[in-house]
Amino acid sequence: MTILLFVMLGVFVFMMFRRNKKTQQQQAELQSKFGPGVEVMTSFGLFGRIVDINEAENKVTLELSPGNTATVHRQSVTKIVEPVVAAEEPTVVPDDASSLTLDKPDAETPESAAPFNEPAGIETPEETLRRLNDEGKKDS
């Protein structure tokens, strides 16, 4: 029984050291990519561009916005921010020419009372006042 307990303890310690080693490797790989002009994020949520790296004191100078800089510890820079590339929407080409012509409103629809280039649902202040006054008369 004690042998099984020591084996379990040994596996636990081995997994703990392995995890720490992987974390250190990832951090070293990340810090090797640091250089002036790289967009980064700190562990406390500041985004900025690296201006200068002081290897002797483990300090990084970040430009947060034009003219504003902050000096942080090198290990507080935890992520390199990749610029987001906007995906282009594919151009939809109609199969026939029917979608190229403007549809004229029908005479039966209530939207046809408005001018053709004015969107439905938008009314002038005078029309709004008239509508509100008419609603008040219907309630009494």
pTM greater than the 0.75 cutoff: no
Residue predicted with more confidence, 79 or 136: 79
pLDDT digits (tens, 9 = 90+) for 14-24: 999 999 999 88
| One-letter-per-residue 3-state SS of the chain | CHHHHHHHHHHHHHHHHHHHHHHHHHHHHHHHCCCCCCEEEECCCCEEEEEEEECCCCEEEEEEECCEEEEEEHHHEEEECCCCCCCCCCCCCCCCHHHHCCCCCCCCCHHHHCCCCCCCCCCCHHHHHHHHHHHHHHHC
